[in-house]
Structure 1
């Protein structure tokens, strides 16, 4: 009987189980799950140290980090494979991860208290609490985490800039990014360096005003990218290079200028490329583009898939999240809020022939959708543990 095996041998066996498969051991090895093994910090750390370097498809759900298989397997209750949640100091509350910024397996979380942010590694449990200057009521702070990719040893930095909701932004939930110096020395943007534990002012400016969704940024190779729009309604990919500490406008893949209410959401493909989901509010057609090459001042795109959602009459919101789970077969998982806000809708989108996502889910005709009873929309992301 496996239950009669020595404890050290059991641990060696479980160490070799991929982290996204640990949840399945609940039904076959209840003794391991309900006993202290899976909750032991020593076991958790050692498991991640021994886990092979593999791509983990994960999601942020409420205040936990979960495997994406929790929704792809069509479960009704999401189970976290990481027993640690991030608690606020001196409070009986957990930190919400709904607006967390992900970079390199590390989460940057802004808090409602507005004078503190926290950087958290959910895999190791390490945290760093960082004090910030509180902004005026009509401004919000937007954050990005990155590193200088020109250096051999990664030294992380945090970009902070203030956003003011303008007339254009108010109609579709985007913030106005203004990094032009203002009179009276008002705060514009700052950089926090982990190596010095200090904030300093940032001199980088944009040629003109940009509108972007503060929580819509993604990180790739240490740099941050947003979809942005200027006052004339021209769209572009806005990047921030943490090595030069400068913003740069890059081209978007659109052949026409989209309507400002169309959906544009960025994601990262296996920590290698950017992907962009675009949906027209008029036709409900979904296009997903991927970058072929990204340089400092140049980006090239190619269309990954196209799916028509007109028959389902659904338009994705800008708070949706998506992840390409099978690049070869062109399969995408999307999560979005439901109409009554009591559920989260999960979509499997597939271009072309029928696809079986799991024993219970078969995708035919382009889309399969179902709901799960959760109020917050999951944030999907992928991560490859570093050696």
Structure 2
């Protein structure tokens, strides 16, 4: 029996458990599979069923890198030589990326004048103009997060925009808007009392999360639920005198946070223990392990790259100096460091999780905020079996991911 002879529902079930970087090699095999992989319901089923291919991306000097870490060496090796390129939709020139936010295999990237939602695995982009762009206006810079509303039939993706202010405005965050891909329009949303975001945000199960503190300097987790478009204040791990919470990240389907003791060389990894869903109004935390740098240090961004060996990849700040990227674990043998030469604290590297997926931005030709259809790339189907252009892209990216991140 050939695989094409299997019942359609059984074939869907089998393919939904195959990693995305392998499936895209098959995308141009036949029109049936091409249409299946474009189907949003299948993409969401694939997200639920497939074992997570957790990858790490680093935004450094306006470019995205796939860092390569080998823990089999003592000390481990770290390389940032492999790059994912985002090209302009008009002239194919490489675009400088100011910031990136991950959700379901989609990257929301800010460039000089536009936002772009990019699926690197599929090679698809959607460019969205916005009047604020990513430029500073009166010392205020817009920041963005990507999430989704949980509908009964499918996920409806949205963008949250907020203002990140500088010291002239006491670092407070205000002015929130939401962009809905179904209506292609921005609207203002209510927000809580003044607070200060203290970390890069992450997305977990469609919701956004940030480290934050209020005007009384009380630390907490700020969550934005894209379904109800509301903010929720959640607790951090039990407080300890002189602690500072940094580097929020996602481990499996839990949140993790690094807790630094001011003036100490020790950093703790804490992970949530309760179910993370839209009904979660409180967080329970458990300390996973403790790392010792041997000198006072502040971690800017970082995440767990090996649960069994308890190893974190992070970038560090010592005093007023950006030191570099390092691996560190519960055992001393996993410490390794690579310097970031010539980089400024004003734009330090951002290390974050990425999971390749088949998710596509919603179909449709609705008008964007400027009355023009959002520009999309990667929509053309294969005109014949074995279309070479698409095959070349699919194989190149999947081979790149498999080779560099194995």
Contact 1:60 1:98 in 2 (8 A): no
CA contact (8 A) 2:208 2:225 kept: yes
- Give 1:379 deviation, angstroms: 1.8
Query: What is the 5 A alignment of 1:273-312?
Result: 273-293=254-274, 294=276, 295-309=279-293, 311=294
Pick closer, same or farther for the CA change 1:231–1:99 going to 2, 3 Å. Answer: same
Query: Which position in structure 2 is the counterpart of 1:79?
Result: 82
CA contact (8 A) 1:336 1:377 kept: no
Task: Provide the C-alpha distance between the structure 2 equivalents of 1:373 and 1:222, rounded to a whole number of angstroms.
Answer: 33
Q: Give the corresponding residue for 2:191.
A: 205
> Would the aligned equivalents of 1:53 and 1:385 in 2 still touch at CA under 8 Å?
no
Tell me by how many angstroms 1:150 deviates: 4.8
Displacement after TM superposition at 1:18 (Å)? 7.8
CA distance in 1 between counterparts of 2:103 and 2:19 reads 21
Q: Whole-Å Cα distance in 1 between the matches of residues 322 and 196 of structure 2?
A: 30
User: Gapped runs of 5+ residues in structure 2?
Assistant: 1-17, 38-45, 360-406
Within the alignment, does 1:232 sit opposite 2:216 as a pair? yes
**Equivalent residue, structure 2, for 1:69:** 68
CA contact (8 A) 1:263 1:316 kept: no
Task: Assess if the C-alpha contact under 8 Å between 1:326 and 1:332 holds in 2.
Answer: yes
The runs of 5 or more residues in structure 1 that have no matched partner are 1-16, 22-37, 170-174, 179-187, 355-362
Q: How does 1:236-247 map to 2 (within 5 A)?
A: 236-247=220-231
Give 2:143's aligned residue: 142
Change (3 A) 1:266 1:296: same
In structure 2, C-alpha distance between the alignment counterparts of 1:254 and 1:347, rounded to whole Å: 26
- 1:292–1:301 CA contact under 8 A, matched in 2: yes
Residue 183 (structure 2) aligned to one of 178, 196, 204: 196
Alpha-carbon shift at residue 336 of structure 1 (Å)? 3.5
> Which residue of the partner structure matches residue 371 of structure 1?
338
Q: In the alignment, which residue of structure 2 is the partner of 1:31?
A: none
CA contact (8 A) 2:67 2:82 kept: no
Structure 2 distance, partners of 1:42, 1:379, is 33
Change (3 A) 1:281 1:258: closer
Corresponding residue number in structure 1 for 2:251: 269
SS at match of 1:155: strand
Contact 1:147/1:154 (CA < 8 Å) preserved in 2?
A: yes
Contact map agreement 1:60 1:380 (CA 8 A) in 2: yes
> Normalization by structure 2: what TM-score?
0.66
Shift of 1:324: 1.4
Describe the shift of the 1:141–1:289 C-alpha distance in structure 2 as closer, same or farther (beyond 3 A): same
* Deviation for aligned residue 1:378: 4.9
CA shift at 1:89, angstroms?
A: 4.8
Query: How far off its partner does 1:256 sit?
Result: 3.1
Post-superposition offset of 1:212? 0.7
Q: Hey, what's the Cα distance between the residues in 2 that align with 1:228 and 1:257?
A: 17
CA distance in 2, matches of 1:347, 1:339: 19
CA 1:79–1:251 in structure 2 vs 1: closer, same or farther (change >3 Å)? same
Q: Which of 136, 156, 177 is the equivalent residue of 2:173?
A: 177
1:324 aligns with 2:296: no
Partner Cα separation in structure 2 for residue 20 and residue 373 of structure 1: 30
Change (3 A) 1:384 1:341: same
Tell me the residue number matched to 1:156.
Answer: 157
Output the CA distance in 1 between the equivalents of 2:93 and 2:298.
Answer: 31
- TM superposition shift of 1:131: 1.5
CA contact (8 A) 1:333 1:348 kept: yes
3-state SS in 2 of match to 1:232: coil
SS in structure 2 opposite 1:226? strand
Mapped contact 1:57–1:68 kept (Cα < 8 A): no
* Contact 2:259–2:269 (Cα < 8 Å) also in 1: yes
Change (3 A) 1:290 1:98: farther
- TM-score by structure 1 length? 0.69
> Relative contact order (alpha carbons < 8 A, sep ≥ 6): 1 or 2 greater?
2
